[in-house]
Amino acid sequence: MGTEGEDLLDFESNVEEKFEKSRLGYTEVPGNPELREEIAKLYDLRKNSKPTSKRSAGKMKLEILDSTFSVIKLSPTETVPSWATNCDVFSITRTDEELSIVCPSECLSTNGELKEVENDWKCIKVEGILDFGLTGILASLANPLAENKISIFAISTFNTDYLLVKNHSIEKAKSVLENAGHTFI
């Protein structure tokens, strides 16, 4: 038996599945006492517990990527350097104040022209594709880390989120996130 929130989600899934089957003619909902009983339990759980929704983040599956990353700041007028896009994973953001590049450190230009670079970041990836309607994903990760004085650099993509944590803090970050209920693969 899970927590009330997990039980609520199980009931919602089961009721949704049975509703879909009934809509397709597999069961008779109006005369189905089992389904009516599950709907009543779902209603009671919602009425008597904290609000829980499929739209909240919950516990995340996380992965620490192998590479060590760097965060680079360039002038906002500079062209994106070719070395920045020659990596499997990279993020580029341009604003009126800067051109910011995050990439594995091994991808950095070796010509020594970079003036503003933060090295030694490890990257924690949130596994799976996250629905845009989900709320609290970054908060569920950032809050326990902040409470333990671990700073982060967050990146969001269309599919998922990434947290960069300084290499010297990665083991502590992993422990803190596991204690918060998240799992690492």
pLDDT, mean of residues 13-35: 50
Could you tell me which of 161, 165, 141 has the C-alpha nearest to residue 153? 165
CA atoms of 23 and 43, how far apart (whole Å): 21
Q: CA-based Rg of the chain, rounded to a whole angstrom?
A: 23
How many C-beta atoms surround the C-beta of residue 4 within 10 A?
Answer: 14
How confident is the model over 126-170, as pLDDT tens digits?
Answer: 999 888 887 788 999 999 999 999 999 999 999 999 999 999 999
Retrieve residue 172's tokens. Answer: 């502590």
Long-range contacts of 78-85 (CB under 8 A, 24+ apart): 81/109, 83/107, 83/108, 83/109
pLDDT, mean of residues 17-42: 52
The pLDDT value recorded for residue 114 is 86
pLDDT exceeds cutoff 60 at 22: no
pLDDT exceeds cutoff 80 at 10: no
pLDDT, mean of residues 48-70: 73
How confident is the model over 71-120, as pLDDT tens digits?
Answer: 999 999 999 999 999 999 999 999 999 999 999 999 997 766 788 999 99
pLDDT, mean of residues 16-25: 46
pLDDT exceeds cutoff 60 at 25: no
Residues whose CB falls within 8 Å of the CB of residue 14, separated by 6 or more in sequence, listed in order = 38
